[in-house]
Amino acid sequence: MTAPASGMAGPGEAAAALLLLGAVAAAAGCGYQSCPPTRPDLLNVHLVPHTHDDVGWLKTVEQYFYGVRNEVQHAGVQYILDSVVAQLVANPSRRFVYAEVAFLARWWRQQDEATRRTVRQLVEQGRLEIVGGGWCMSDEAAAHYVPALEQLALGRRFLRRELGGCGTPRVAWQIDPFGHSRQLAAIFAQMGYDGLFVGRVDHQDKETRERLREMELLWRASGSLPPPAADIFTGILPNIYNPPSGFCWDQLCSDPPVVDEDSEENNVDGIVTTFLQIAASQAERYRTNHIIMTMGSDFQYENANLWFKNMDKLIAHVNARQANGSRVHVLYSTPSCYLWELHRANLSWSLKTDDFFPYSDGPHQFWTGYFTSRPAFKRYERLSNNFLQICSQLEALAGPASREGPYGLGDSSVLREAVAVAQHHDAVSGTEKQHVADDYARQLAAGWESCQLLVANALASLGGHKENFIFCNALNVSVCPLTEAAGRFTIILYNPLGRPLSWPIRLPVNGESYAVTDPQGQPVPSEVVPVSKFTHRLRGGGSGGAARELLFQASAPPLGFSTFTVSRLSHGDPPVSPPRTTVSRQPREIQNEHVRVLFDPLTGHLKEIQNLDKSISLPVFQSFYWYNASIGDGESSQTSGAYIFRPNSSEPIPVSGSKRVSTYLVKNALVQEVHQNFSSWCSQVVRLHAGQPYVELEWTVGPIPVADGWGKEIISRFETTLQTDARFYTDSNGRQILERRRDYRPTWNLSQTEPVAGNYYPVNSRIFIKDKKFQLTVLTDRSQGGSSIFDGSLELMVHRRLLYDDNRGVGEPLLELGADKQGLVVRGRHLVLLDTVESAADRHRLLAQELFMAPYAVLAPGGGPSYRRGQPGLRQFSGLRRELPPNVHLLTLTPWEAGTLLLRLEHQFERGESANGSQPVTIDLLNLFSAFAITSLREMSLGADLPLDAVSRLVWTPATGPSQPRPVPKLDPSRITLQPMEIRTFLATVRYEEPGAGWGGL
């Protein structure tokens, strides 16, 4: 290897050099005490050296880390960290901030102990500051609050373990996500962050805030939690996250370096003068005598000497001007040191209660397309988190037997890290290159495999039988070789919710009649129906050919499983019940005991929904349309792309070429379905299961045709007679609900340039419209964009296929060819609820959790040997001694250190949205679980890396008046009270019960 360049040291040398710095470096330790001195009489410019390292975007995570495929983008994160550490050691006044723990953890594994000691010392001196601290910098529109919270906790846990208390970030650093959500802000506050810095806010919002000097504010991120529990100080950075124009000194930049020697290239005066002008201009838009400048950008600092050498000179020469009367002081700083100075200013700050969606960076440029982009990956991410929660719960319930058992070594960390990576703002957002999206999916698939081993070990241990467990991953297209071929098999249905659940099972079969028995051996009603034409088409060639599906309603206890046995009846067997499925044309209605749905006999469209329990009805017309994607026009050259949604007309085009949609009805005692065919590439099943108080719409869209040269954005639109007064409601990351108003923003006077795209908002789990009496709610199974473009309507974008790039850096159109290269086909579900306004939350809150934490079916041929000699087999098991109240959700149950489990319980209602659901609720945690006994309990911060009583946050004063944090109450494990929207986090030391003893087994 070549000798280090001048001014650089290798990591080994860095360790030796650092020993000489002890006397020079700040002795006060990390945190706010380590901040550099500032000048109260001058304008202080805080230079924050940083790199923004996307956890996948134009290259995969590994390509970015190792510096592979630099022809796509020059970026090698391992070299950035090597170089930065060496440059920090070389000069004790220098500082640097780093955010993405997915990369830091990988780099850390490469380092020897001497380099690790060096890094720890830099962190302890406050010179290397970790900001954000999540596994990635998560998206805020398409990320659900559970995996978003868990990826933050995963990163913070690594930092605490490897870097100690000084590695705990004080500042949230969301500098690149394309809009900012209220729920994520609330999570940052509850994790103990003192402040949040963001880069991207709407250009009109930013112009207004600059004029009013409100670029820094206090964000009240919950209407349910008492202030300041969810308040967080929020700073909007001046230049997204880039350096001032002309001051980029990376090897990727072409700005001139500072030449301060006797040379004809000497440019000190010009550079200093320009810098002072930029600083003065920026200071006019901020309130204190402190301003921040981000000195870095995407994947910069691979040769950190270039940056630091020039910043050293800039600082020296700008500060030298003070002798001539300059009133500007420049210093190396960090976001937390800048935040500390703002806090010391002792001002009151404007209060914000809404969110920062949608984001536009210019007229006609709304970043609302990514709310839907890559819909199949958005669903796979959601399913993967669902399976991760099940995997974690079973690992906690079965204990060590789940990690090492008859099926091999089970490991939940592979899926945990893959789901964490998927939260990145170029992952679940759908704004990455196609080969990177493929790699994200590959990482998730590898995680599934590791977790499937763990789940098999756990089910064998808990259930007492070593079965040949089968995981049928293609049930969404009704393919499962075991059920198609076997004459007898078992289904183990695991329910991750804290309450018992009834769940429809649908399996591909080739027999005509089957007998199904429940865990007690009692018969369960079942039906066999033909596989839909839509599903046949989806399978393509050679991927399984079952012509029928077996349907039955299965139930599972809370946090547990039920085992069902299915036997095919031969021709000689008397049928359990005569087959009663009928197929007919031109359906007029379907109904069960709760809901009736009417269809127009002439057009085949849905026309009315009736809630039979409440005796209410609402005309509802539903159909599919497409917006023609803009390729730019006279007003703006902006095209529709992975990020940007821009239709070339506000009027969408019906998918069905004729007014009539072909339909047929499938009807039996368990289910009633109307199959609607809108075109050769768009179909839907309107389904009512027996006992189900909502309408299920299963849509199948694709391949979207683009041979006509038009990109298309496909919506499902609902039209009603509700008087909605331009208002509609969407969720924030699947949790809080926010009111939206068409062509309106709560904090500035909007000049609307895109009447459709400018009214789109992220819909993570639900959207609804209401009048004084009735509410129509639509729940989604993944993140989508949604809106109400005219009163009484709501729409959700389900799929999009585009022919042009939108010029935001990804450099390729969103074409998604799919497995057969003909174009991606996507299938999903919308659940539709009609209810009174007063009762709606009681339904949609619980139903959204059922969709998000759905039960999971594992199959087996049956008849496997005993797991332990003498252990009775359990056909039913519950990890809880009693079910949780309906307004309480078990958010997290996962192993932590040896002998300890992490528990999070949440109140899943907002204040005032339900007469019963919004009440405080108290539970006994000590006697809740059956698989283990809790021997001690400690309450933790939301991130689980700090005891709750050790969390101390800066207190900020809003313009509306101060509010003081409430003291932490004494913990009584037998009386855990949850207030609306409250999440409480515990580390429990546990003792596992003997198998079968005291378990909720049958």
Residues acting as catalytic residues: 176
Find out whether 656 and 679 touch, Cβ atoms under 8 Å. Answer: yes
Q: Dihedral angle at the C-alpha atoms of 868, 872, 877, 879, nearest 10 degrees? A: -60
Cβ neighbours of residue 994 under 8 Å, at least 6 residues apart? none
Name the residue with tokens 């917006």: 627
Reading the block at residue 865, the tokens are 């040997």
Cβ neighbours of residue 634 under 8 Å, at least 6 residues apart? none
Reading the block at residue 185, the tokens are 């802000």
Tell me the β-bridge partners of 585.
664
Burial degree of 987 (CB within 10 A; 0-12, 13-18, 19+): middle
Tell me the β-bridge partners of 563.
492
DSSP 8-state symbol, 766: E
Of 291, 202, 276, the residue nearest 246 (C-alpha): 276
Of 878, 983, 857, 943, the residue nearest 386 (C-alpha): 857
Strand segments (E) across 50-178: 96-98, 128-130, 171-174
Cβ neighbours of residue 360 under 8 Å, at least 6 residues apart? 202, 203, 204, 366, 367, 753, 754, 758
Find out whether 502 and 565 touch, Cβ atoms under 8 Å. Answer: no
Find out whether 923 and 884 touch, Cβ atoms under 8 Å. Answer: yes
DSSP 8-state symbol, 911: T
| CA-angle at 747, arms to 744 and 753, nearest 5° | 40
Of 124, 102, 121, the residue nearest 113 (C-alpha): 121
Of 681, 630, 635, the residue nearest 657 (C-alpha): 681
**Could you give the CA distance from residue 96 to residue 87 in angstroms, rounded to a whole number?**
10
Cβ neighbours of residue 632 under 8 Å, at least 6 residues apart? 638, 639
Residues 849-887 as b/e (b if ≥16 CB within 10 A, e otherwise) read bbbbbbbbbbbbebebeebeeeeeebbbbbbbeebbbbb
Q: What is the DSSP string of 545-599?
A: ---EEEEEEEEE-TTEEEEEEEEEPPTTSPPSS----EEEES--EEE-SSEEEEE
C-beta contacts of 522-525 below 8 A and 24+ residues apart: 523/576, 524/552, 524/553, 524/554, 524/564, 525/552, 525/553, 525/577, 525/669, 525/670
Of 678, 728, 726, the residue nearest 701 (C-alpha): 678
Tell me the β-bridge partners of 186.
none
Find out whether 73 and 6 touch, Cβ atoms under 8 Å. Answer: no
Q: Are strands 43-49 and 290-295 parallel, antiparallel or unpaired?
A: parallel
Burial degree of 587 (CB within 10 A; 0-12, 13-18, 19+): buried
Cβ neighbours of residue 922 under 8 Å, at least 6 residues apart? 975, 976, 977, 978
Q: Are strands 195-198 and 231-236 parallel, antiparallel or unpaired?
A: parallel
Strand segments (E) across 837-915: 856-860, 876-878, 888-895, 900-907
Alpha helices (H) in 164-199, listed in sequence order: 182-190
Find out whether 743 and 726 touch, Cβ atoms under 8 Å. Answer: yes
Q: If residue 305 lies in a helix (H) or strand (E), which one and from where to where?
A: helix 304-320
